[in-house]
Amino acid sequence: MGLLIESQIKSLSVAGLHLLAKDAERRIGSHVAGGDPVAAYVDHQKYILDLVQEELKRRK
């Protein structure tokens, strides 16, 4: 699944990347705030954030 996510992220516009990053941040926040967070879910959202950051750096 990692390769699929990576290829989809590369096809997003800069605005789309920013929206995806905000979405991942909000998902982490609401998941953790809800109590008893699932580490795998949080780790997956962090992985998406990392991919977005790397893609934004690559485009500069």
pTM, two decimal places: 0.89
Token digits of residue 1: 């699944």
Beta carbons within 10 angstroms of residue 17's beta carbon: 18
Please calculate the CA angle 56-17-42 and round it to the nearest 5 degrees: 100
Instruction: Tell me the per-residue pLDDT of 3-55, one tens digit each, with 9 for 90 and over.
Output: 999 999 999 999 999 999 999 999 999 999 989 999 999 999 999 999 999 99
Q: For residues 1 and 60, which has the higher predicted lDDT (pLDDT)?
A: 60
The residue behind tokens 């485009």 is 59
The domain of 55 spans: 2-59
Supply the pLDDT for residue 2. 83
Coil, strand or helix at 38: coil
